[in-house]
Amino acid sequence: VVFLLAISSVAAVSIDEECQDNGFDYGIAKYDCSNGVYTLDEQNSLYDYYVFGFTGDCQEADWTASPGVDGVLVKSAADTSEDGDGTSGTVYGWTETKCNPQGVCKDITHDISHVTFCKDSNGGNGGNGCKGDCNGDHPVPVFSFATLAVAVVLAGLGLAYLRKR
């Protein structure tokens, strides 16, 4: 039961909500990065009017958009950053240095989880100006709809199993 409540409290954030949380009016498309490949995860009705491209991997990638976009949001670990606008740019994962109490330090690399392209109805004056570390601005984790669906199915199967016992 606790598992079911935990699952039901997690909500997937749509591309419109993600863009609006960062000062834009709506989302155009969201691309997930996995194993160095960007794939379309979510789109809205504007997507048909755009052509997007990626070259690179989940740590660093060049993107193109035609026509131009008003905002590019990059999710890497718990960090969401506003990373440019226009018709092209480069997005980056990030590296942090963690040290143990003995002073031994290690770089930890966080790959890009996804890139979301945003649009403003006023022609590009949106965004929250964060241009870097926006950590903490969005306490709700972002999950794809597929992840949420799998979690709900697994919770249902778990409940069915417990009822049979």
Residues in the chain: 165
pTM for the full predicted model: 0.65
Residue 64: count other Cβ atoms within 10 Å of its Cβ.
14
Q: How far apart are CA 161 and CA 141, in angstroms?
A: 28
State the pLDDT at residue 135: 41
Q: How far apart are CA 137 and CA 134, in angstroms?
A: 6
State the pLDDT at residue 124: 54
Tokens 């290690």 belong to which residue? 106
Let me know: does 87 contact 64? Beta carbons within 8 Å: yes
Return the DSSP state at 104.
Answer: -
Let me know: does 18 contact 143? Beta carbons within 8 Å: no
Whether the pLDDT of residue 132 is over 60: the answer is no
**Three-class secondary structure of residue 5 per DSSP:** helix
> What is the torsional sign of CA 150, 82, 55, 109?
negative
Closest CA to 119 of 13, 15, 12: 15
Let me know: does 87 contact 72? Beta carbons within 8 Å: no
State the pLDDT at residue 91: 92
What backbone phi and psi angles, to 5 degrees, belong to 18?
Answer: -60, -45
Structure confidence by residue, pLDDT tens digits, 20-30: 999 999 999 99
Whether the pLDDT of residue 6 is over 80: the answer is no
State the pLDDT at residue 144: 60
Q: How far apart are CA 15 and CA 27, in angstroms?
A: 5
Whether the pLDDT of residue 155 is over 50: the answer is yes
Highest mean pLDDT among 6-15, 70-79, 123-132: 70-79
